[in-house]
Amino acid sequence: MPYRAPVRDLRFILQHVAGFAKVAATPRFAEATPELADAILAEAGRIATDVIAPLNRAGDLTPARLENGAVVSSPGFAEGYRALAEGGWVGIAARPEHGGMGLPISLALAVDDMLSGACLALQLKPLLSKGQIEALEHHASEAMKALYLPKLTSGEWSGTMNLTEPQAGSDVGALRTKAEPLGDGSHAISGQKIFITWGDSDLVANVCHMVLARLPGAPEGTKGISLFMVPKFIPDAEGRPGARNSLRVVSLEHKLGIHGSPTCVMQYEGAKGWLVGEANRGMAAMFTMMNNARLSVGMQGVGVAEAALQQALAHAMERHQGATPLSAEGPILEHADVRRMLAAMRAEVFAARSIALSCAVAIDMAKATDSADWQARAALLTPIAKAHGTDIGCEVAHLGMQVQGGMGYIEETGAAQFARDVRITAIYEGTNGIQAMDLVGRKMQDGGEAAFRLIDEVQRGAEAARARFPDLAGEVWQASEGLREATEALVAQPLNDRFAGAAPYLRAFARVLGGDAHLKAALADPDRLALARVMIRRILPEHAALLAQVREGAEGLYAVRPADLAG
């Protein structure tokens, strides 16, 4: 079955779960009226469904390749990318003064959902440009903004993000790429970066690399990292791509999935680069780009999960295997176990999508109001949205294969492609383990205050639902109380004990937020009650086992010696 963008669910969640009306009520986003939001979702849905989704298979079967040092894209990607650029989708959240639409992140993220469900490999290209646009808006000089932002926003040029080196993955502070001042305001950048997504492209006139590097005498670790703009072609004063810069693609990685997205080893050989933001403050500037990208990557997981679910459902409605409890010759959808898988998939996708959109609403509210509380909410939800959205992406894609039996495992149907493609989302943009550590570390530096405020809100929501759905509301309330107690215990622990329970804690938090989202949905629309029951009665109870791990600390893990692991 062809992919169909989930416009209806996105609209419903924005309206009834994530509280998008608050965003539209701010002066900053006054233009994002319900009518405009509807029009944006409908048009992006149309492009995702009709233009981008048909490219997904070609990207898998005919990967991007390197010819004479240049990337050649998968068939059809040029037309697909052009449709995205010409439709203004790269600049959806960019500032209008540079040609962007200036729309809230909430709407941009909904578009990310649909485009990544349609074709993850191609969606990565505008995703990276969007992150770069935001980093430049915040940290670049006016001259750099004027030179780069209009081209990036229109999609004529594209952006990349260069952190990773062979010895510096999660530990970005270990990077060695050098930046030597050339005395004319530019720097010579030298070093190797690996795993660079869309590090070269035949779809655009210029590729703008954001590169992390060290200035001479810079302090060790992350405190000595600076951010540079290193274009493939050095723009002249009019902004036309000019001289070829001293950088090249050494090779493309062969990988499990996203074959249409070229993953490049990049060599910088004294390439000209220009400082973005302050010297030695590159991590702060890069974080702007990474925060944006982290949430979008979380939504990539949700988008692919949606596509995998749609395909599995279509199969389950057509495939017949023996008598079912409901009819003599019904489809496998009528078997309880198949229904269980599909119901869990839909409940999970709804919950993860709601968490991501709630995070986006918090980001928009923080931008529109400068409120510290909204900022803290956005910061708290970002690692949850990233890690949970992508975990669910992987799990739902695997369930999708299970629903389709052998047809799910063979490549022809495309079910396996979803599972292969989405797997990277749990790894890049900070592994999900690193996200969980961020949640229990940096995001709990306030003693858990932002978390407690969110738990209070969940409990108020449950109280409000108690009259109509006493059992479901009671279970969400109880689970959130368990989360509160575990959070109190967590913030009292030494850091490494927190880290030992970080991933289960993050998942338990997401379980509670998922219960809350489904409860709100059932209140707004009784047709959503059955799925809310699935989430709250069958999936939410998992929180108790997860929270038990939070209290265990690290000692028991280190008690397992390497020799024990060797078996």
Ligand X SMILES: Cc1cc2nc3c(=O)[nH]c(=O)nc-3n(C[C@H](O)[C@H](O)[C@H](O)COP(=O)(O)OP(=O)(O)OC[C@H]3O[C@@H](n4cnc5c(N)ncnc54)[C@H](O)[C@@H]3O)c2cc1C
Active site residues: 429
For ligand X, the closer of residues 196 and 316 by Cβ is 196
SS3 per-residue string spanning 547-563: HHHHCCCCHHHHCCCHH
Q: Interacting stretch for ligand X, rule CB under 6 A, among 93-101, 135-143, 162-170, 240-248? A: 162-170
Chosen residue from 37, 53, 85, 163 binding ligand X by CB under 6 A:
163
Q: Would you count residue 434 as binding ligand X (CB under 6 A)?
A: yes
For ligand X, the closer of residues 324 and 549 by Cβ is 549
Chosen residue from 28, 95, 178, 255 binding ligand X by CB under 6 A:
255
Return the bridge partners of 179, or none: 189
Closest CA to 126 of 162, 168, 87, 159: 159
Chosen residue from 73, 74, 106, 164 binding ligand X by CB under 6 A:
164
Chosen residue from 49, 73, 162, 226 binding ligand X by CB under 6 A:
162
Chosen residue from 126, 169, 262, 389 binding ligand X by CB under 6 A:
169
Q: Binding to ligand X (CB under 6 A): which residues in 259-288?
A: 263
Chosen residue from 235, 433, 441, 474 binding ligand X by CB under 6 A:
433
Closest CA to 189 of 165, 159, 154, 223: 165
Q: At 169, phi and psi to the nearest 5?
A: -105, -100
For ligand X, the closer of residues 41 and 424 by Cβ is 424
| Residue found under tokens 């709601």 | 354
CA distances from 387 to 286, 383, 430 (A): 19, 6, 9
For ligand X, the closer of residues 274 and 428 by Cβ is 428
| Residue found under tokens 């024990």 | 564
Binding mask 189-208 for ligand X (x = CB under 6 A): ------xxx-----------
CA distances from 523 to 191, 467, 516, 517, 531 (A): 56, 11, 11, 10, 12
Residues 145 and 510: their CA atoms lie apart, in Å, by 38
Least distance (Å) from ligand X to the CB of residue 522? Answer: 36
Residues 484 and 476: their CA atoms lie apart, in Å, by 12
For ligand X, the closer of residues 150 and 383 by Cβ is 383
Indicate the residue type of 86: E
Q: Interacting stretch for ligand X, rule CB under 6 A, among 41-49, 56-64, 136-144, 422-430? A: 422-430
Least distance (Å) from ligand X to the CB of residue 424? Answer: 5
Q: Residue of minimal CB distance from ligand X?
A: 169
Chosen residue from 86, 97, 170, 495 binding ligand X by CB under 6 A:
170
Cα torsion 310, 403, 347, 361 to 10°: value is -50
For ligand X, the closer of residues 354 and 432 by Cβ is 432
SS3 per-residue string spanning 90-118: CCCCCCHHHCCCCCCHHHHHHHHHHHHHH
Least distance (Å) from ligand X to the CB of residue 85? Answer: 20
- Contacting positions for ligand X (CB under 6 A): 161-164, 169-170, 195-197, 255, 263, 424, 427-428, 430-431, 433-434
